[in-house]
Chain A
């Protein structure tokens, strides 16, 4: 969590950490392309989305500094994502059981 001095979040993420995250993102991209080529079909959608979610999580946590932010921003993001998930979930409930 970032140290707060005079309202400024002073946490600094090192170049090494950022580069490592970039490397993992590239690996996951290669993995998802490989998986798309070798595992076709409808179930594959979920695999692709799972990999995309991990990549998105890494971008938010490190590139967007969320891992080091305070409670307010974390909760805000959490509530927004849950709301989005509810919207999508309820819509699918309607679409699938109509």
Chain B
């Protein structure tokens, strides 16, 4: 069947942005909760924040920023007709996403081994503000981790499509929108990082 394909690049991007704005409100709600409880328990939040492992947070920040660069470069590459390069860059971004999740697993394993998890006896005995801090941390970082997982899968699928030639210089809306999603994941982490790791 040879039907003419109708594509609306600008429309696809507008739709993606509308979706991203709802994501912004989702995480915005989390940050709002954080702020409200920070006002209520400033000392407890600072004490809990000092317990966080800055090294994990910093490494993951660098990883996400770098993967964001690769996703942005993949868009430039496909626009210039460099499909092979785009595939390599997307692969790099996916690997970064995987390393991020491995780091998160190691970090959470360490926290769990120290008895820091929602409902643990250690947190039950701690001042109430600290358990609020960690509950918010696990919900926000968990939701963010889920986004990293979804984003990585999305980028991997798009990389395969670019490899096969379904995505090319003339039609790269899927690549561009997936990259936008990945940048949002990066953007959210940029705010999670100071709120949970740097408030000492």
Contact = CB atoms under 8 A, between A and B. Distances in A.
A31 to B, nearest CB: 11
Of the listed residues A13, A15, A64, the one surrounded by the most CB atoms of chain B closer than 10 A to its CB is A64
Interface string A1-40: 0001001111011110011011001100100110111001
Contact of B10 (A4, A14, A22): A4
Nearest to A42: B42
Contacts, number: 129
Contacts of B199: 36, 44-45, 48
B194 A51 contact: yes
Interface in B39-65: 39-40, 42, 46, 54, 58, 61-62, 65
Contact of B198 (A4, A21, A36, A80): A36
A92 B61 contact: no
A18 B69 contact: yes
Contact-residue bracket for chain B: 35 or more
A interface secondary structure, majority: helix
B164 interface: no
Contact of B73 (A15, A36, A37, A56): A15
Interface string B127-151: 0000000000000000000000000
Interface string B148-178: 0000000000000000000000000000000
Interface of A: 4, 7-10, 12-15, 18-19, 21-22, 25-26, 29, 32-33, 35-37, 40, 42, 44-45, 48-49, 51-52, 55-56, 59-60, 62-65, 72-73, 76-77, 80-81, 84, 87-88, 91-92, 95-96
10 contacts: A14-B76, A18-B69, A29-B58, A33-B58, A45-B38, A48-B199, A49-B194, A49-B195, A63-B186, A76-B14
